[in-house]
Amino acid sequence: MNFKKELAAILYGLLNQEIPEAQLELLIEKPKFPEHGDLAFPCFTLAKLKRKSPQAIAQELSVQIQSLSFEKVEVVGGYINVFLNKKLVSEKLLNKVIAEVGQFADQDFGKGGTITIDMSSPNIAKPFSMGHLRSTVIGNSLALITEKCGFKPIKINHLGDWGTQFGKLITAYKRWGDAEKVRQNPIKELLALYIKFHEEAERDSSLEAQGRSWFKKLEDGNEEANSLWQWFREESLKEFSRIYQLMNVEFDSFAGEAFYNDKMDRIVHLLEEGQLLVESDQAMVVDLKQEQLPPCLIKKSDGATLYATRDLAAALYRKENYDFAQSLYVVGHEQSLHFKQLIAVLGKMGYDWAEKMVHVPFGMMLKDGKKMSTRKGKVVLLEEVLNESIAMARQNMEEKNPHLIHKDQVSKQVGVGAVIFHDLKNHRMNDIEFSLEEMLRFEGETGPYLQYTYARGRSILRKANYQAKVLPENGPNTWEKEWKTASLLMDFAPVIKRACENHDPSIVAKYIIDLAQAFNKYYAEVKILEENKNLEARLALIFSVTVVLKEGLRLLGIEAPEEM
């Protein structure tokens, strides 16, 4: 039900096919104010072509636009304003939602192509902090949105399980570590050791060299270094999986940095073969002057490989194993240069699929206006935030609805949903100030507000014993009061498409907030169950709103409780 497309097709015929239909569709706008109609076509771009004023063109075209879907056509300045037939469109639209339910707004432009999504990627032996929430929830939502659009997402948790920090951690453990303490509380103890290392290194610079030396031993397969590393990794993964379970996030692969250790020599060999490696300050680099980028470091002066080498190996592995149509990297914006270099090097290597690699950057999670730092111990633990959020949601329910049956389940859905929505309602490039109070509010643009709106709709349908059934066309219903809410349902499919193309879940989040606000306003104005006239239509509308709210929340990775 794309009325923009319908209007574009009519205009295409009226303009003797001089302007492509797709271009006309792009020009059609949704007016800001309802009194200007539901669709607006600006005639300014036609002035040159037609050698007439935009107003004259609008007048000429408006009298020829005819469709059962359009109630009236008006001209305001150089705009053609089209008002949709409220009755016909509402009935068609609600019948489509009722018939399709969970499949409503499904799209197939992905054509089954695979999208790899590099996301979450916490560092082993460090706590899962609020800083890692963003990549996790943005990546998870993009997987759900791309799947809705006909792609096959592959979620990859590229764990930070390699690098000089492990040399530092091994150094710290050998100096100050206590095996029993680590066994009892692995992440907390390992973090304390990591912080102690950096504090001591400020006083004793030789510690940094020891850290590098232990990492080199790890790279060379030293037994002691390897066994400590394996232990740190296993303990961390146990902790991470508990948090992922809490958020209902699953992965298709946990191939982290270490997985590519035996795949990097091939990259170095391919770069040498292509005569792309040059020496710079005893290190090996790929020169990217032509691309107006700094050189990309491939091997350090001591022979150790770098992030870039590893990410080149990962990109090649993913292409060969998944044959991706697109490869997304949901990684903070501070890594933008790294991904520009990565894509440029792959292009120089002759891989045209490098163009299909997309860095999906995002802003920082701030605490008191500052970036959270594990190194300095300024960290807010995600699991603690989720548990606190669940407890606050539970307390809220005890006060507002003490007789609710599934309190534990609903508290979890609301508490976790609140944290996720607080992140995803923001455009991903914005920095976010951490605030638990803000997340859990039941009013305004919050997760609990959306879940409560959904639960309220379901409650009305239960009271009315509503059984979803198709509305008779040309029934006795009038749609004036329902139109604002009903017409918003039309936007769901284009909103999902836009979120997919822009890799931005906030487009879906903002849309479901608009829908919930329109529905709540309607609910406040209309006595839904008290009048028999139009009752069937009103219930069909509420059912459709709940279908779209539930699906919109699902696409953000949030559950919708039936009662609250």
pLDDT tens per residue across span 467-524: 999 888 767 678 889 999 999 999 999 999 999 999 999 999 999 999 999 999 999 9
Q: At 183, is the pLDDT very low, low, confident or very high (cuts 50, 70, 90)?
A: confident
Report domain extents, the chain: 3-84, 163-236, 382-555
Single-letter code of the amino acid located at 262: D
Greatest distance between any 2 Cα atoms in the chain: 85
Q: What is the pLDDT, as a whole number, of residue 366? A: 83
Dihedral angle, C-alpha 94, 100, 104, 106, nearest 10 °: -150
Q: What is the pLDDT, as a whole number, of residue 129? A: 82
Residue 323, pLDDT above cutoff 90: yes
Write down the mean pLDDT value for the chain: 93
Residue 187, pLDDT above cutoff 90: no
Closest CA to 510 of 441, 435, 428: 428
Closest CA to 141 of 517, 500, 460, 415: 500
Q: What is the pLDDT, as a whole number, of residue 49? A: 87
Q: At 433, is the pLDDT very low, low, confident or very high (cuts 50, 70, 90)?
A: confident
Angle between helices 535-555 and 447-463 (to 10 degrees): 150
Tens-digit pLDDT profile for residues 278-299: 998 889 999 999 999 999 999 8
Q: What is the pLDDT, as a whole number, of residue 303? A: 66
Long-range contacts of 337-340 (CB under 8 A, 24+ apart): 337/293, 337/294, 338/307, 338/308, 338/311, 340/291, 340/293
CA distance 406 to 394: 11
Q: At 339, is the pLDDT very low, low, confident or very high (cuts 50, 70, 90)?
A: very high
Common-topology check for domains 3-84 and 382-555: no
Residue 445, pLDDT above cutoff 60: yes
Mean pLDDT of 136-144: 98
Which residues have a Cβ under 8 Å from the Cβ of 184 and sit 6 or more positions away? none
Q: What is the pLDDT, as a whole number, of residue 304? A: 63
Q: What is the pLDDT, as a whole number, of residue 472? A: 82
Phi, psi of 473 (to 5 degrees): -70, 145
Tens-digit pLDDT profile for residues 348-397: 999 999 999 999 999 998 877 777 655 555 667 899 899 999 999 999 89
Q: What is the pLDDT, as a whole number, of residue 438? A: 82
Residue 302, pLDDT above cutoff 80: no
Q: What is the pLDDT, as a whole number, of residue 2? A: 87
Q: What is the pLDDT, as a whole number, of residue 376? A: 56
Q: What is the pLDDT, as a whole number, of residue 127? A: 82
Tens-digit pLDDT profile for residues 200-228: 999 998 999 999 999 989 988 999 999 99
> In this structure, which topology does domain 382-555 adopt according to CATH?
Isoleucyl-tRNA Synthetase; Domain 1 (1.10.730)
Q: What is the pLDDT, as a whole number, of residue 369? A: 77
Q: At 319, is the pLDDT very low, low, confident or very high (cuts 50, 70, 90)?
A: very high
CA distance 120 to 136: 4
Mean pLDDT of 58-78: 95
Percent of the chain at pLDDT exceeding 90: 78
Q: What is the pLDDT, as a whole number, of residue 121? A: 94
Q: At 114, is the pLDDT very low, low, confident or very high (cuts 50, 70, 90)?
A: very high
Top-level CATH class of 3-84?
A: alpha beta
